[in-house]
Structures are given as structure tokens and as C-alpha cells.
Amino acid sequence: MRKIGLVIKEDRKPKQVARSLKKWLRQHGVEVFTDISKPDLDAVIVLGGDGTLLRAARVLGNKRIPVLGVNLGGLGFLTEVSYDKRLYAMLERFLAGDFTVGKRMMLHATVFSETSGHWTGSALNEIVISKGALSNMIKISVWEDDELITSYEGDGLIISTPTGSTAYNLSAGGPIVHPELKLIIMTPICPFMLSSRPIILPDSANIKVKVTAKSPDVHLILDGQVNYELGRGESITVNICRAKGLLHIVKSPARGYFSILRNKLKWGEQEI
């Protein structure tokens, strides 16, 4: 590898680590760039937490280059590699091509509104359609292609990837799904009816979501970071499908997915 992009969380510790890492990479003959939109990068290293990696994913989703996440944030569920004395030994292996990646699907959304035309965006974890903080319930009807799936009344709807199954989807009662599977999870948020349950769809599904009860305050949110206000009292249609590319996340050599589940989310723990 000769050209590597760096994504650095705006915080003191990641900036300190970035200075040391840039020096180390240049000593190993690697050019370092902070513009990860460059077309000829060999890899990207993310210094921060899961939120930093989610931001990078929206730029890197179609590039098919390895993304190495170094956890300098909080949870560190997506940024699998720890910042410790073993990091530079792992980076030497990384530069030599000795690593494996998990290929993660992403979602793509296109919004059609009466007043503002259309808007597009992508997400690694989830796309959420949600009412505002002080709004009443919203009614959402969902189709796969031209077939009606169901209608929900409640606070909103989460459309999640397998990677995002352990994020907002899990908190709303959705299932845990292995991140390298290719499928789409649809989970209602605080539904009015007890019969409104999550459903799993194939990754080939073209989902159309329509807000059928006009609400004064509805939002589309990508990975909890990008907020698009869906207008006030207008008819809204959102088309959601699998994005074209797969994000290639470098796996930690020290721990597997189920170890991360147990240690980070305390999954499967039993108190004796």
C-alpha cells in the first residue's frame, strides 16, 4: 500500500494519534491524505469511534477499499481495532496485505416530496423515518415493489442493514443479525398496535415508504447523523434499496464478531 487516507475524529486524542501515525506511515513509504474522496487511495484508516466510521462510510461505500477502524471513542463496535501496544504490529501486517475484511451492505434512500423535488443519501447502519419530538403519531404505509406489506401507526420506522441490527434496531426490539448477511430489517418505533412486529426482507427488495397521515413534523435520519426534514403536512414518498457498493471493514485479528457482542453489548451474559 502506497496511498492511505486518514479520517480523524475532532478530538484531542485522535489528533495526537494521527500525528504519530502520519510520521510512522511516511517512514514506511506511504503517502497520507486527509481527503478520502481521492479516487486512487489503497486504504483508509479511521481514528475515532463508531460515529467517525459511519461518517466515512457515506463517502467510501462504493470505493471497495479496506477501511481500518481504530477505536479512540466510546463503544467501538464498528471500529474493531484497539489502540494499544499491538497497533503498529498490526499496521505492519496491514501494509503487507495480511488482513481479512468483512463486506458490509449499505442502504440508499431517495426522497420524493411535493415541494422540494428529490433528495438522496446512504447509510451503513439504518435509515429512520421519525416523527418530531412534539408531534402526534404518524401513519406509514410500506410496499415492496408494487405489493403492500403493511401500514404502521406509531413514532416511526427503522429500515436497517445487518450491520445496524445492533444499533437503533436492537433498542427498538429488532433482531440481531450477523453483519455479513445480505438482507434488510424493518422495525417499527413504538407502534400503536401490538401486532406491528419487525420483518426481514431480502436485500433485493425495493422498498417504498409513504407517510400517509399528514404530520407537521417528520424527519428522515441517516445513521443518526444526517437529518432531512420531510416537509410540513405534505405527501412524502421514500424509496429505499440496497446501495450498489459494499463497505470493506478490516476485521480485528484478536477477536471475532461474537466476542464483540459479548464484551461490548453484554449479549448472552447470565448472572449467577
**Greatest C-alpha distance within the chain:** 61
- Going by CATH, does the domain composed of 3-100+251-265 fall within 3.30.70.250? no
Residue indicated by cell numbers 430489517: 185
107, 97, 52, 78: which is closest to 246 by C-alpha?
107
What is the reported pLDDT for 126? 96
Nearest to 240 by CA among 141, 112, 107, 150: 107
C-alpha distances (whole Å) from 166 to each of 105, 125, 245 are 15, 9, 21
Report whether 8 contacts 14 (CB < 8 A).
yes
C-alpha cell at 70: 481504530
Region class of 81: left (phi > 0), else alpha (psi between -120 and 50), else beta: beta
The helices-and-strands tally (H runs, E runs) of the chain is 5, 17
CA 112 to chain centre: 22
Task: Report, at the CATH architecture level, how domain 106-244 is classified.
Answer: Sandwich (2.60)
Per-domain boundaries in the chain: 3-100+251-265, 106-244
Lookup: cell for 131: 416523527
E strand map for 124-163: 126-131, 138-144, 147-154, 156-160
Q: Say how far apart CA 143 and CA 39 lie, in whole Å.
A: 36
74: cell is 466510546
Mean pLDDT of the chain: 88
| Distance from C-alpha of 66 to C-alpha of 63, rounded to nearest angstrom | 9
Cell reading at 155 = 413514532
Q: Compute the distance between CA of residue 208 and CA of residue 145 in angstroms, rounded to an integer.
A: 7
User: Residue 214's pLDDT is what?
Assistant: 62
Cell 488482513 found at: 99
Q: Please determine whether the domains at 3-100+251-265 and 106-244 fall in the same fold group of CATH.
A: no
pTM score: 0.90
Ranges of residues in the chain whose predicted pLDDT is under 50: none
Grid cell of 196 as nine digits: 406491528
Hey, which residues are catalytic here? Answer: 50
Q: Are 31 and 4 in contact, with CB atoms under 8 Å apart?
A: yes
